[in-house]
Amino acid sequence: MATAQSPTTDVKPVLRSAYQRSVAEYWNQEKDPVNIKLGEVDGLYHHHYGIGDYDPAVLQTPPEQRDQAIIAELHRLETAQADVLLDHFGDVIKPGDRMMDGGSGRGGTSFMANQRFGARLDGVSISEAQVEFANDQARKRGVADQVRFHFKNMLDTGFDTGSMRGIWTNETTMYVDLQQLYAEFARLIAPGGRYVCITGCYNDLTGGRSRAVSQIDQHYICNIHPRSEYFRALADNGFVPINVVDLTAATIPYWELRAKSSVATGIEDPFLTAYREGSFHYLLIAADRI
């Protein structure tokens, strides 16, 4: 029996490989203005991109106000993307249900889901800095009893089997093996629950990663998957897609506007090239757990 002096030896470390440690270190150190300044607009800090047409009037704003207007518009498009993701849970989620955000960043979408559904939220991230930031946001918002963030590995969360009604990942699946990920999600989501994913994926028809996609991989230390692998891994683990939406055309305006802003990071051109040449797709998949 374990005691205070002899802890159990079967507790697995959160970070289990040199690669995971390097990703965690990247996000622990990350303080990109594109994530911070946009979140300061209304206190919702996102770690994803946006969809929808931007208002061209922001580019006609007086020079001394233009950049802030662009930042506010970029934030609006990122929040719109999160709304579209949450829309695809339909009527599956009821007040009091439990949901999980896989790779929860600084917590923005988790707070939106809690407000929309009245659900209890668990966000998981391998970045301790992100977890600390997001939990601080939960306290400031007065929802720390409903929205919690954990330093956990989404490939093996330790949460109870069947404890989740819904799970989403938003631009985080390129950091993990999809078969391992969906095996864990199949364990967590009770039958009849739903998984929603938004992700960039490369186009199998182009014969592999294009130069632009490889540049994105290098920039974010990630490993973008082919489109087909998502559907294969979902099917292998008991998920049936109910909606698939190609958001590629809808995200291009976001990148065009971001390239004109002070928060551009230099990765805008590879994204625009990859989307326009068709080697990269921005996809939403909603799948039910059978």
pLDDT digits (tens, 9 = 90+) for 193-228: 999 999 999 999 988 899 999 999 999 999 999 999
Range of the domain at 202: 21-155+163-289
Backbone angles phi, psi at 148, to 5 degrees: -125, 145
Q: Kindly state the DSSP code that residue 263 receives in the 8-state scheme.
A: T
Contact 150, 131 (CB under 8 A): yes
pLDDT score, position 142? 98
Residue type, 198: I
- 53 inside domain: yes
pLDDT score, position 54? 98
Give me the number of domains the chain comprises.
1
- 35 inside domain: yes
pLDDT score, position 1? 42
- 15 class by beta-carbon count within 10 Å (0-12 exposed, 13-18 middle, 19+ buried): middle
Q: Which residues of the chain have pLDDT under 70?
A: 1-11
pLDDT score, position 33? 80
pLDDT score, position 10? 55
pLDDT score, position 220? 93
How many CB atoms lie under 10 A from the CB of residue 93?
Answer: 20
pLDDT score, position 35? 78
pLDDT score, position 103? 97
- 210 inside domain: yes
pLDDT score, position 4? 43
pLDDT score, position 12? 80
- 102 inside domain: yes
Instruction: State both tokens at 271.
Output: 């994204």
- 105 inside domain: yes
CATH number at residue 278: 3.40.50.150
Please give the Cα distance from 180 to 183 (Å, whole number). 5
Q: Dump strand ranges (E) for the chain.
A: 98-102, 120-125, 147-151, 164-170, 189-202, 239-246, 280-289
Residue type, 153: N
CA distance to 7, 112, 113, per residue, from 166 (Å): 33, 14, 11
Please give the Cα distance from 210 to 187 (Å, whole number). 34
Instruction: Return all residues near 142 (Cβ < 8 A) that are at least 6 apart.
Output: none
- 218 inside domain: yes
pLDDT score, position 11? 65
pLDDT score, position 56? 96
- 33 inside domain: yes
Map tokens 């994913």 to a residue.
197
Contact 197, 284 (CB under 8 A): yes
Please give the Cα distance from 142 to 8 (Å, whole number). 35
Contact 149, 125 (CB under 8 A): yes
